Structure 1
Amino acid sequence: MGTFTKICSIILVLVLLSAAGVWFAFETYTRSPMSSEPREIPLVVPEGASFNQVIEDMARQGAVKYPYVFQLMVRIKKQQHNLKAGEYMLNTGWTPERLLKELVTGKGVLYTLSFQEGLTWWQIADIVQQQGFAKAEDFAKVIHDPEFLKKHNIPFSNAEGFLFPETYKLNKPQTMNMDAAKKVADMLVLTFWQKTASLWGDHKPSPEELRKVIILASLVEKETGVPAERDTVAGVYANRLEMGMRMQADPTIIYGIGKDFNGDITRADIRNKKNIYNTYQHRGLPPGPICSPGLEAIRAALHPAKHKYLFFVSRGDGSHKFSKTLKEHNKAVRKYQLSRKKK
């Protein structure tokens, strides 16, 4: 072997050894924690930000060391176009691989959006705004949008009754715009269909069946907070519907008054025929749901109890006294309502 060949061989071996050393160092970097003293660092990735910009920001905050090596890792793994905008809580105890995975596949920081059964759409809109997920005004526009209602098979003029009460975990938007409102509204209604899927059996409800069930469920939700009474209350309204009686439900009057309700139902309110939700004046169910009911109220509306009760009155402790005749009902009213007034 000639001298030149020997020199080339030595150079090749040195190059290979150097490359192996570089690769080993690179692999060690990607799999080693960035700090032996872990601490959390908040990071906001704006819409349209590049990976280079975000890496520079992380380096300034101490969330990543050797930023140029991190940039190389991003390119090698072909993730430079997969950065997800959002709010993140990073940890200096993570490896660079773990950090990259969080930025391209993670959900970021999740916040709680929670509301109980029986709230109206405008109450829910206020909660959505108060908790920082969308403007109440934008949310209202979305849930009244005909295209939105058609998309989700909602047979009413708005999504009342379909904003499923639940505790949700989601990212907060960087800007509370119309897209943010659509995201929240979509989530609530999709959850409604997911949660109620098992109730419909092997068929989807017709628009007319859906209208009746959700309206009735909303009445049940507003009338009683006692789980054992739900199907009984549903049975009362089912009996009244069958007999052509008026529902005479106070919560429907309140809903028709809307945000202006001051806490007291007056005789004028009961006599007001202009209130289309006044079931003391208008026969049958109201024109739409009066709140978003929970799953058990919907179940009760689908399977109301079979009985002969036509009336019920609050006992004052959350439960109700059910009666079959007006005479029995008037007696119960005197017993429970007058006793409450005396107290």
Structure 2
Amino acid sequence: MKTMLRILSLALLLILAACGWLWHEAHVFLHTAPETPGREMLFDVPQGARFAQVAAALAQKGLVTDARKFSLLARYKKWDNRLQAGRFALNSGWLPEKVLDMLVNGRPVLFRITVPEGLSWWQTARLLEEAGLVRFADFRDVITDPAFLRHYGIPFATAEGFLMPDTYLLKKADAPDDARFKAQARAVAGRMVDNFWRKAAKVWPGNSKPKVQDLKQWVILASVVEKETALDAERPRVAGVYKNRLARKMPLQADPTVIYGLGPGFDGNLRRKDLDDPANLYNTYQRPGLPPGPISSFGTTALAAAVNPEAHDFLYFVAKTDGGEHAFSTNLADHNRAVRQYLRNRRSGR
């Protein structure tokens, strides 16, 4: 009997010791950060990932001290099936409960990217790809997809001109697979086009959506104006020049349209043979009227200028200095004098 009591007492002591050890281990785990001071790190949770995999990755990156204990904590709180997919900003100085709460209840990181005015669609695609937000080919496929274009009311073969320049907060693809990358490209392109329609609604006459023919003309002209001058004050005047040339059936003779037609391979040097090439559909030196589609993304000031061009008699313009304001002329003789002055200014470094 005494022997049995001793065995039971010993077993009880072992159980108490084990409980004490477990309580100590849990207390230390819950109240010990991996690092002090901590470091902020980005952490990706793939779509459909098992909690054990995520816990192991957290431990490997030094965001929790023990993957198994972190999994037990999630199971105890009944959160092990509530992980969100996405990229999270975590800190190695956080306690494990805070890390778990962020992965379950926090918001994934949104990446800030600024798409400037005047980019072609392929320049925009490269910018987004370099930021890790889309793949170039996926973005190209989306903005040339007839179903996408119909859905967003775009009357051209691409979404060129409708990819609104702005600063965006965008989420990255949840997992590195083809389906999610394609969905991401569609989401990003759709966000940009939605932004175009929202901002353009304030520019249309009477705030009503224009007829298709007017829309085409205004969007194309706005894209050319955007490329011709960076000065907001000049844009209505530039648009007025092109309106006057169109009315007189004069060729637009806009270098940016020729450059656009040369495509992504343009080396920065516009040659005489390029201006003389009628095969270039965007060559407004050789082809009458507006080019067949927009040549860049543009802001609302360029669109407003296209919708409401300045009324004047100017038919020509040339820069006074590179990147500066322009000299406008009503006749070719005055324009040629302005061109010679521009060349003198350039040679003198002005």
Change (3 A) 1:94 1:341: closer
Decide which moves more: 140-149 or 294-303. 294-303
Q: Any idea what SS the aligned residue of 2:188 has?
A: helix
**1:197 aligned to 2:198?**
no
Which of 300, 306, 321 pairs up with 1:301? 306
Matched residue count:
310
Decide which moves more: 174-183 or 276-285. 174-183
For residues 32 and 164 of structure 2, what CA distance do their matches in structure 1 show? 43
Contact map agreement 2:224 2:256 (CA 8 A) in 1: yes
Change (3 A) 1:233 1:82: farther
Q: Give percent identity, aligned residues only.
A: 44
1:327 maps to 333
**1:180 aligned to 2:184?**
yes
1:215 maps to 220
1:260 maps to 265
**1:246 aligned to 2:251?**
yes
Contact map agreement 2:41 2:91 (CA 8 A) in 1: yes
Decide which moves more: 253-262 or 276-285. 253-262
Give how far 1:239 is off. Answer: 1.6
Change (3 A) 1:168 1:105: farther
Cα-to-partner distance string for 1:23-42 (whole Å, 9 max, x where unaligned):
xxxxxx9xx98759563454
Decide which moves more: 166-175 or 142-151. 166-175
For residues 151 and 117 of structure 1, what CA distance do their matches in structure 2 show? 24
Contact map agreement 1:38 1:91 (CA 8 A) in 2: no
Q: Any idea what SS the aligned residue of 1:312 has?
A: strand
1:113 maps to 113
**1:232 aligned to 2:237?**
yes
Give how far 1:159 is off. Answer: 0.8
TM-score by length of 1: 0.80
Decide which moves more: 61-70 or 214-223. 61-70
Which letter maps to 1:193?
W
**1:157 aligned to 2:157?**
yes
Structure 1, gaps ≥5 residues long: 1-28
Change (3 A) 1:214 1:180: same
Give how far 1:64 is off. Answer: 8.2
Structure 2, gaps ≥5 residues long: 1-26
Which letter maps to 1:144?
T
2:14 maps to none
For residues 93 and 315 of structure 1, what CA distance do their matches in structure 2 show? 57
Which of 311, 319, 328 pairs up with 1:314? 319
2:87 maps to 87
Q: Any idea what SS the aligned residue of 1:199 has?
A: coil
Which letter maps to 1:150?
R
Matches within 5 A, 1:94-105: 99=99, 102-105=102-105
Q: CA RMSD in A?
A: 2.8
Which letter maps to 1:305?
E
For residues 134 and 264 of structure 2, what CA distance do their matches in structure 1 show? 20
TM-score by length of 2: 0.78
Q: Any idea what SS the aligned residue of 2:89 has?
A: strand
For residues 305 and 105 of structure 2, what CA distance do their matches in structure 1 show? 41
Give how far 1:342 is off. Answer: 6.5
For residues 62 and 313 of structure 1, what CA distance do their matches in structure 2 show? 59
Which letter maps to 1:146?
P
Change (3 A) 1:143 1:243: same
For residues 128 and 334 of structure 1, what CA distance do their matches in structure 2 show? 40
1:46 maps to 46
Which letter maps to 1:272?
D
Contact map agreement 1:46 1:86 (CA 8 A) in 2: yes
Decide which moves more: 175-184 or 124-133. 175-184
Matches within 5 A, 1:259-298: 259-298=264-303
Contact map agreement 2:320 2:345 (CA 8 A) in 1: no
For residues 215 and 157 of structure 2, what CA distance do their matches in structure 1 show? 14
Which of 340, 343, 348 pairs up with 1:337? 343
For residues 59 and 280 of structure 2, what CA distance do their matches in structure 1 show? 62
Contact map agreement 1:33 1:94 (CA 8 A) in 2: no
